[in-house]
Amino acid sequence: MNSLPGRAALSLCRRTAAGGMRVFAGSPGQPAGPGGIPADMACLQAVRVCHSGTGSKGSFSTKKRGYDITRNPHLNKGMAFTLEERLQLGIHGLLPPCFLSQDVQVLRVMKSYETRSNPLDKYILLMTLQDRNEKLFYRLLTSDIEEFMPIVYTPTVGLACQQYGLAFRRPRGLFITIHDRGHIATVLNSWPEENIKAIVVTDGERILGLGDLGGYGMGIPVGKLALYTACGGVKPQQCLPVLLDVGTDNQALLDDPLYIGLKHKRIRGKEYDELIDEFMQAVTDKYGMNCLIQFEDFANSNAFRILNKYRNRYCSFNDDIQGTASVAVAGVLAALKLTKNKLLDHTFVFQGAGEAALGIAHLLIMAMAKEGVPKEEAAKRIWMVDSKGLIVKGRGHINHEKEEFAHDYPHLKTLEEVVHTIKPTAIIGVAAVAGAFTEKIIKDMASFNERPIIFALSNPTSKAECTAEQCYQLTEGRGIFASGSPFDKVTLSDGRTFYPGQGNNAYVFPGVALGVIACGVRHISDDVFLTTAEAIADMVTEENLAEGRLYPPLSTIREVSFKIAVKIVNYAYKHNIASLYPEPKDKEAFVLSHIYSPDYDSFTLDSYSWPQDAMNVQDV
């Protein structure tokens, strides 16, 4: 088999010096490798991605033969099939007479990837690879998660969703429409996999900060579930992306002859609710009550209503509400290490009062309660600004969810007025209003606070409330910054360099999903998300903080997800919400056993012989 030249291996492993290129492998009881997971996780062996690529995880049996093998992304290894495998599987001659290790295959894809300058072209290249060779796709993603996450998810996935009709190549999920009511169980039977453990579902009404994209919203569940596997190790064949197409109110899409979704206005009310009800029931009838259902990018009018309706009946959560809350609170808890005080010493102003803002606010109240602050007192430290201005008592256009944060205070129309008057210690932007944190607001924050907390969490990058550079320059490097989408490092005139923390939900949902699936949690409480936030904050080192990072480096996200999953498993058994018994003694080894490996399986048949006299051919 062809070997990987030393220079090429160095190229493949160019980021390993920072300890970034790691995947989970090995067996329980193995020691941690250099730069791997801390010694207290003795059951885990962290193995670098840059290995020979010739080893196999184990033998795999399939009844498929010939052309079907090369067209099945779960089975296809491309030119990594050995000659023996090609002959036994009936694919010899269908592939070039060349034998490559998986690492060389990664280099070949990277060479093609680097010729593309357009992020959408890179996205299409990666999605095409996922359609062709699943294990190679995940090997590539885990080899450099910092490089590929912005392509397979935010911010590029937003562009991909806008162009989804042109980027669509082959099915990667289920499209269930309002016209399928009464027959959703039949539609679910179209999906080839039976052992589904996780579903991400959207109705496409509020895609990132881009609004109603209707049927084009499928890119979000596909991207989310790719990160379930790449960041959390959830097995891809156990994941199902779903788009519920009830129409769109985006007139531009309705007028577009190339639009691939239902071409009518959104169906709402009773018919919509009946569709969701039937979907939830059909999923659990087919895949069981332990099947995790993640709601994604539903509009504010439906998000809280649906979450509250189903959270205690099904294994479900809303990432925009609970996932965003968890990662934001993790950033705030990490920031406390810099401000040297407690949550109760802070005042928060939110730009936005939708599902993300309310989710963060409620989790902050839970966190303050752990510090001994009564709920009513905690709520007084949180202020919200929506499109009508500051939310105060007596003001119109306040729904039930916002009422809790309506204070007895004069009405202020603009965020600038609110910041100047309230003098908060932290501002958090989650309304997708680009540039909302103006120069005056940032300078005001710097004048009120020695270390102002400024979180511009809206996605994609084009919707961010301010840039990292604006924050660091206008606060003279004193700002504590986090964003929803990635920003490049910032070097100030005095030579100090900051690496902006990205408050990406990918720190949360892959680890939560892995832990929930592993021990069979049937109802996911907000305590799970507060536990996750605390776990993430605990992993932020003094070195990270000195660089401006409020989160662990993205290169370590698989380790982060693993630790979160172990914490959730421990929490689940301690609080009797796990359904898988007997309780495993070694929780780390237990979680590790559920983690997907992108290493190729061997398809070589189990060949052996009998004693010669037992094989004698009887003759007449």
| Letter string b/e over residues 541-573, b meaning 16 or more CB atoms within 10 A of that residue's CB | eeebbebbbbbbbbbbbbbbbbbbbbbbbbbbb
Give the separation between CA 329 and CA 537, rounded to whole angstroms: 9
Residue 228, SS3 per DSSP: helix
Give the separation between CA 583 and CA 587, rounded to whole angstroms: 9
Let me know if 224 is a catalytic residue.
yes
Which of 491, 496, 494, 471 shows the shortest CA–CA distance to 481? 471
Residue 460, phi-psi category: left (phi > 0), alpha (psi -120 to 50), beta (remainder)? beta
Burial of 341 (0-12, 13-18, 19+ CB in 10 A): exposed
Q: Are 464 and 458 in contact (CB under 8 A)?
A: yes
Give the separation between CA 164 and CA 338, rounded to whole angstroms: 42
Q: Are 314 and 339 in contact (CB under 8 A)?
A: no
Find the Cα–Cα–Cα–Cα dihedral 320, 326, 332, 334, rounded to 10°: -140
Q: Find the largest Cα–Cα distance for the chain.
A: 107
Which of 50, 80, 46, 81 shows the shortest CA–CA distance to 65? 81
CA angle 594, 600, 604 (to 5 degrees): 115
- The 3-state secondary structure of 152-180, one letter per residue: HCCCHHHHHHHCHHHHCCCCCCEEEEHHH
- The separation between CA 540 and the C-alpha centre of its own chain, rounded to angstroms, equals 19
Q: Are 144 and 218 in contact (CB under 8 A)?
A: no
For every residue of 458-491, DSSP letters joined together read -SSGGG-SS-HHHHHHHTTT--EEEESS----EE
The residue written with tokens 């492993």 in the block is 13
Residue 30, SS3 per DSSP: coil
Residue type for position 449: N
Within 10 angstroms of residue 55's Cβ, the number of other Cβ atoms is: 12
Give the separation between CA 476 and CA 492, rounded to whole angstroms: 8
The residue written with tokens 């990667």 in the block is 172
Tokens at residue 219, please?
């890119």
Active-site residue identified among 122, 224, 463, 563? 224
Active-site residue identified among 153, 164, 551, 596? 153
Let me know if 164 is a catalytic residue.
no
The residue written with tokens 């250099």 in the block is 34
Instruction: Enumerate the active-site residues.
Output: 153, 224
